[in-house]
Chain A
């Protein structure tokens, strides 16, 4: 069975600075997807970024980028130029590749605080 681990329960960053959130996972599969989701106080889950395991290039979405190390089974999220609106819970998630395999496995989450 696949597992996702987030070892940082809480992180903090100053506005405009950069912060990196860590995530490791365990799987015996070779093809899969990894995600970072943001959950603000409203509790609405928002997809931040997605990485396909077959792609060597790290995904980037504006100020958000990932460092995907497949061999090490590591998937960290870097937030550049942090903004107050980035404060939220961040969840790393895993999904197997293939049809009818949409189930997501979530990590325990990291609470990010952003200070002005």
Chain B
């Protein structure tokens, strides 16, 4: 199957600093990527849809200015957590659907990034 990578796999930062997480589709092009947040022992909550060539679409309750998303190319989306605080500590997962000619595009998930804010 298709491969989606994330970098870094884990990061520790100080409160008030910004952290950038990369999501790459390695063997296919993705015009859309999704960013999820997962707290311990909880489900994946969709944060935003990253769109190549246009602005990201954020889910209700997600701060656009805090979680900056940039879909730089057809294989790369980045999530920047600005002015991070301890409550931003979480597991961040991205996914990308593979392009097909029909309405169903299988999604592939990255391995996730664990963010710890001290």
Contacts and interface: CB of A to CB of B under 8 A. Distances in A.
Contacts of A103: 34, 46, 49
B32 A108 contact: no
Nearest to B57: A103
Interface string B39-68: 001111110010000000000000000000
Interface size class of A (residues with CB under 8 A): 20 to 34
Contacts of A44: 109, 111-112
A109 B44 CA distance: 9
A102 interface: yes
B91 A43 contact: yes
B32 A45 contact: no
Contact of B107 (A43, A102, A107, A108): A102
A99 B42 contact: no
Given A103-B46, A106-B44, A45 B103 contact: no
Interface size class of B (residues with CB under 8 A): 20 to 34
B43 A104 contact: no
Contacts of B104: 33, 52, 97
Interface in B67-100: 91, 93, 95, 97
Contact of A104 (B34, B38, B111, B112): B34
A104 B103 contact: no
A44 B1 CA distance: 14
Interface in A83-116: 91, 97-109, 111
Contacts of B91: 43
Contacts of A98: 103
A52 B102 CA distance: 13
B34 A102 contact: yes
B56 to A, nearest CB: 13
6 tightest A-B CB contacts, nearest first: A45-B109, A102-B97, A43-B112, A106-B43, A108-B43, A106-B44
